[in-house]
Chains A and B, each alone.
Chain A
């Protein structure tokens, strides 16, 4: 039967069900990432973000919560210019974070 709609999937992040393996590995290698306050300076200054929908703050937050779907493709939009690293008030090596996420997710 064509109902004309389907049941929406919840968008809630369930930390008990998600596989946090990549997130834990990421934080082990880059403990300073825990200092992120989510201010969005990285995204506001992002060159790639000016031309695409790339949003570093959003993608790294989702990865840290175990939501990996589409994250590799999103991170591939980064041009690695490093402007975000200069803007980060907590001194996080954001460019390295991009590379680590891509490396770990490429294995999946």
Chain B
């Protein structure tokens, strides 16, 4: 069944000439990841990728919080496509999983209900005077890294292998819900057998570890987190995943959504502070990475240039296992060597938590 399903969920990803739209929240959560993506595409893979300063948020957070109506979000989506059209590009690339779901949803709605597309074109023209062509392909940025995974492997400085033992590092992956759970055919491997991140781990020498709650949501879910009193439900979802993956002793968690690394990283900190429980080895947390960070590490980028000092769970145990060379004293030095401040010691990093479930 697995082989059969995999054949159904192949996806064509454009090889070059991308129009890239950023996420509105990733730049706060993991500010180095999107810059790393652009650097990897331009400098390592020598691809043409355009980033446009005048594109906006897709308004997906407002849409999924029932604040932004569908006509509005479709007009915003149409404007992004119009900017792409004006730039002469046809392959749309989204940094954000929520946005990717929004773009897929708009295109599907326009396909099913052409009158909605006509109405959206009218709204866009009246509001901005712009017109658009629909993209030839819509890819999430993780699709693009997946597409180039073998080329990245061929240029790799480090591999996902324990430098001391030669054993492959064990990675668990977590796919953002809006990547393939809404439109399974738009995701590599679909919703049931997602392969977009697993393929990267395998291509770069690691071992993918399956775990029972692999497809469970990270707990973000917009209104589950946006209202403070609801956050107990959000953290309970992440905890369910941590408890499920911990017995398999993963060396890292790999994610492809803006919210998932944020919550799986920060909730490990919160659970350690609240209950004294950690899920990694030796009383530490499990490092959580974005796919751009992992690709950057494999290609030999400096972890602090990738923004990995912004993680609540320290990434040094993983860097040490991979044999990555880094300067510990430079961790909290920003541009031009300026000290950016550092967080207080946390239970999730000191190896002193009351109980590690391992």
Give chain A's interface residues, CB within 8 Å of chain B: 1, 3-10
Contact = CB atoms under 8 A, between A and B. Distances in A.
A17 to B, nearest CB: 13
B236 A1 contact: no
A77 to B, nearest CB: 29
B328 to A, nearest CB: 28
B240 A7 contact: no
Nearest to A12: B240
Contact of B229 (A1, A4, A9): A4
A7 B273 contact: no
8 tightest Cβ-Cβ pairs between the two chains A and B: A8-B236, A8-B232, A5-B231, A5-B232, A4-B228, A8-B233, A7-B235, A6-B232
B239 interface: yes
Chain B facing A: main interface SS: helix
Contacts of B54: none
Contacts of A7: 232, 235-236, 239, 271, 274-275
B112 to A, nearest CB: 37
B230 interface: yes
Contacts of B235: 5, 7-8
A10 B240 contact: yes
7 contacts: A4-B228, A4-B229, A4-B231, A5-B229, A8-B233, A9-B236, A10-B240
B324 to A, nearest CB: 34
Nearest to A1: B273
B264 to A, nearest CB: 15
B104 interface: no
B275 A5 contact: no
Nearest to A9: B236
Nearest to A6: B232
Interface size class of chain B, counting residues whose CB lies under 8 Å from the partner chain: 10 to 19
Chain A facing B: main interface SS: loop
Given A8-B232, A8-B233, A3 B240 contact: no
Interface in B216-240: 228-233, 235-236, 239-240
A10 B236 contact: yes
B270 interface: yes
Contacts of B271: 7
Contacts of A4: 228-229, 231
Given A7-B271, A8-B235, 12 more contacts: A3-B231, A3-B274, A4-B229, A4-B231, A5-B232, A5-B235, A6-B274, A7-B232, A7-B236, A8-B232, A8-B236, A10-B236
A9 B233 CA distance: 8
Contacts of B273: 1
Interface in B260-300: 270-271, 273-275
A4 B235 CA distance: 13
Contacts of A8: 232-233, 235-236
A9 B243 CA distance: 13
Nearest to B238: A7
Contacts of B228: 4-5
Nearest to B231: A5
A5 B230 contact: yes
Contacts of B231: 3-5
Residue from A6, A7, A8, A9 whose CB has the most chain B CB atoms within 10 Å: A7
Contacts of B236: 7-10
B183 to A, nearest CB: 29
Contacts of B275: 7
A5 B270 CA distance: 11
A1 B230 CA distance: 17
A7 B235 CA distance: 6
Contacts of B274: 3, 6-7
A5 B275 CA distance: 13
A8 B270 CA distance: 13
Nearest to B239: A7
Contacts of A9: 236
Given A9-B236, A10-B236, A10-B240, A3 B270 contact: yes
